[in-house]
Chain A
C-alpha cells in the first residue's frame, strides 16, 4: 500500500500507469514517507479501529460494562427493533436533523449572499457572524436555557400568547423546537463560511452577461449562482445533517432528554442508558446500527448532490 506513494504519475497519462505496474523494482520509497505514515496508521488503528471492533464484539454479549459476560447471540439486535424507546429516539433525532439542516442551510446561504455583496464593513460583519461557532456549545446552551426559562415566557405573557407564556423547554410538544433554535444558531456560522468560499468561485463575467440579457436579481440567483455552488450546498447538507444526527451537548444542557422522553436523541440515549443504565452491550448495539445509518445516509446524500452537479 505504501510502496508506490513516491512516484505519482501525471493524471490522465495511461503510459505512466501501466509503466508503473510493470516496474516491479519500484523506486526506493523515501523513508520520510514511512516515518509520517506509520505513526498515523498506528494511532488510528489503536485509538479508533480496535475500540470499534471491540465494541462490535461486545454487542453479541450481555456485558454490563463490568463483571462477567457471556454470549447472547443476536438478542441485543432483536430487542433493539422491538424497543419503542429506541424508535422514539430515532424519530426525534431525524425530525430534528432534517428541520435543523434545512433551516441552517437556508439561513447560511442567505447570510453568505448578504456578506458577499458589496457593503460597508463587510469584514467586520463576517467576523461578527462567525462568533457563535467559536463559543462552546454548552455555554451557549446554558445561556439559551436561561432565556427560554426566564425571558421568553415574559415576552409571551406580555403578548398574551398561551404557548409562549411558559417555558418552551417544559413543553412536551415544543421542546424540540427550542433545541432546533439553539442548534441552528450555533451551526449557521460554519456553513456560512463554506458558502462564502463557494461564492468566491463564481466568476463576475457571468453576472455581467446575464445582466446584458436582462436577468433580474432573483433570476440570477436561481439560474446562475445556485447551480454554480451546488457542490458546496451538497457538502454543507451532508456535514450539517451528520452533525445534527449526533446532537448531544444541547440536549444535556437544555432538557436532559425531557420533558418525559420527548427530546432523547440517539447519542444521548446511548450515553445515558449505556453508561449509567448498565445496558452497555445493548446500547453499543444501538451505536453500531446508528453508525451504519449515518454512513449510508452520508453516501446517499453525496451521490445525490454529485448527480446534480452540471458544471
Chain B
C-alpha cells in the first residue's frame, strides 16, 4: 500500500467523483438481463404498498418486463426537474389539477386517443382532463384511473338522531342548519386555518351554479376584453359565507387535520370536503358512519357533483418502450386492479362498468352514472393567483366587494402577464 500523497489522494477523489456521476444514475433501460425495465413514477403515499403488489403481480405475469415503483411525494416538482434533464419517467401517475394542464399544454405527454385505453372510461370523466390542458386539438393526454367526488360529507348517526334527511335544494340545506342549531348541534365543522379548506365549498357550489360548464366560463374569463367579472359568481360566494356562519366557534384556529379529527369525534353534522377526506376521517374513528350528498343547487335539476381525476395515468410523448408501457397501463385499468385501488383509497372507479362499493360514496354515485359531473372551479386558476388565501380572508371578514375586486384585479394581472410572456 502506497503512503497517501497529496497527488494520489486528489486522483482518488477525482475517480470517485467520476464514478458517482456515471454509476449513480439508474439504469432506466433494458439491461444485461435482457428484460425491459420500466419506472412507475407514483405520487400517492397511501398507495405505495398496493402499487408494489400490482407491480409484483404484473412482473410475474410478464417475464420480459420489470416495473419498479418510484414514489415521489412532491411529484410535480421532481417531475419538472426530471423533464428539465430530458429524463421523462416511463410510467407516470399524476393528479389532474392545474399543474397537469400546464404540463400537458407544453405537449410533453402522449395522446391516448391513439390507443384503446380510453374505451371503457366514463366520457364525462375522461373529458375533465381535456378541459385542464392538452398538447393539441382533440388530444387526451391522460387516462383517468381513479376519481374523487366533492360534495358534502355528513355523519349519518348525527342526522338520524336529529331526525334529518340529506337535502335536495339549498333552501333545505339552510333549514337543516337552522334545525341542527336549534338542537344545539354544530351543523358544519370548519377548519379554515389551512387556507385551502375553503376551496372545496367554492368548487362544489360553482359546479352547480355555472350551468353552461365551469371550464367554459373560465375560458370566457381568460379573454380579458370579454367584460366578464367574478361578480357573476357572487351567489356562490354569498352561499359560502352563509354556510360558514353555521359552524364551530374555533374554526379559525383549526387546520385540516384538526378538522378531520374533530369531525371524526362527532363534533358536527356535516363536513364540506371531497371524498379524499374520508380515509383521513376514518383513521381517527374507524367506526364512524359517513355518507355523502351532492352540494345542492337552488333547483335540484342543476345539482352536479364536482369531480377531479385523483389519479391519471400518462407517459412521455415519445416513450422508449411504447408497447410495454401500454401493456402495463392495460393491466392497471383492468377491473380487478381498479376495484382494488378504489376500495382501498375510497375513490370512484372511472370505468363505466364499475361503481363505488364504499357506503360513504353511495350518495354521489348516481351523479357519476348520469354524467352529471363538473370540473373543479379552482383548478382553472393559475397558481400565481393565491385564490385560497383570498377565500380564507373573505370567510373571516365577509367583505364580498373586496373579494370580487381582488379576484378581478389579480386575475387580470396574472393572465395578462402569462399572455405577455407566453
- Interface: B193 (CB within 8 A): yes
Chain A, 100-121, CB within 8 A of any chain B CB: none
How long is the Cα–Cα vector from A240 to B99 in the complex, in angstroms? Answer: 38
B interface bracket (residues with beta carbon within 8 Å of A): 35 or more
The answer on a CB contact under 8 Å between A257 and B386 is: yes
How long is the Cα–Cα vector from A153 to B108 in the complex, in angstroms? Answer: 51
Give 1 or 0 for each of A271-294: 1 = CB within 8 Å of chain B CB. Answer: 001011111011000000000000
- Interface: A217 (CB within 8 A): no
- Interface: B217 (CB within 8 A): no
- Interface: A166 (CB within 8 A): yes
The answer on a CB contact under 8 Å between A67 and B386 is: no
CB contact between A153 and one of B192, B253, B386 (< 8 Å): that residue: B253
Set of chain A residues within 8 Å of B83, measured between Cβ atoms = 66-67
Chain B, 177-192, CB within 8 A of any chain A CB: 192
- Of the listed stretches A72-80, A91-99, A182-190, A205-213, chain B binds A72-80
Interface of B is mostly: helix
- Interface: B392 (CB within 8 A): yes
Chain B, 359-399, CB within 8 A of any chain A CB: 382-384, 386, 389-390, 392-393, 396-397
**Chain A minimum-CB-distance residue to B81:** A66
The answer on a CB contact under 8 Å between B84 and A66 is: yes
- Interface: B226 (CB within 8 A): no
The answer on a CB contact under 8 Å between B253 and A150 is: yes
- Interface: A167 (CB within 8 A): yes
The answer on a CB contact under 8 Å between B252 and A260 is: no
How long is the Cα–Cα vector from A82 to B416 in the complex, in angstroms? Answer: 12
- Interface: B195 (CB within 8 A): yes
- Interface: A258 (CB within 8 A): yes
How long is the Cα–Cα vector from A4 to B252 in the complex, in angstroms? Answer: 64
- Interface: B417 (CB within 8 A): yes
A interface bracket (residues with beta carbon within 8 Å of B): 35 or more
The answer on a CB contact under 8 Å between A85 and B195 is: no
The answer on a CB contact under 8 Å between B410 and A75 is: no
Set of chain B residues within 8 Å of A275, measured between Cβ atoms = 77
Set of chain B residues within 8 Å of A259, measured between Cβ atoms = 195, 389, 392-393, 396
B79 to chain A, nearest CB (A): 8
Give 1 or 0 for each of B395-421: 1 = CB within 8 Å of chain A CB. Answer: 011000000000001100100010011
- Interface: B233 (CB within 8 A): no
The answer on a CB contact under 8 Å between B84 and A65 is: yes
Set of chain B residues within 8 Å of A62, measured between Cβ atoms = 421-422
How long is the Cα–Cα vector from A80 to B195 in the complex, in angstroms? Answer: 25
**Chain B minimum-CB-distance residue to A64:** B102
**Chain B minimum-CB-distance residue to A68:** B106
- Interface: B35 (CB within 8 A): no
Chain A, 230-280, CB within 8 A of any chain B CB: 256-262, 264, 273, 275-279
CB contact between A278 and one of B108, B383, B390, B409 (< 8 Å): that residue: B383
Interface residues of B (CB under 8 A from A): 6, 76-77, 80-81, 83-84, 99, 102-103, 106, 108, 192-195, 252-253, 382-384, 386, 389-390, 392-393, 396-397, 409-410, 413, 417, 420-422
Interface residues of A (CB under 8 A from B): 35, 62, 64-68, 72, 75-76, 79, 82-85, 149-150, 153, 166-167, 169-170, 172, 256-262, 264, 273, 275-279, 281-282
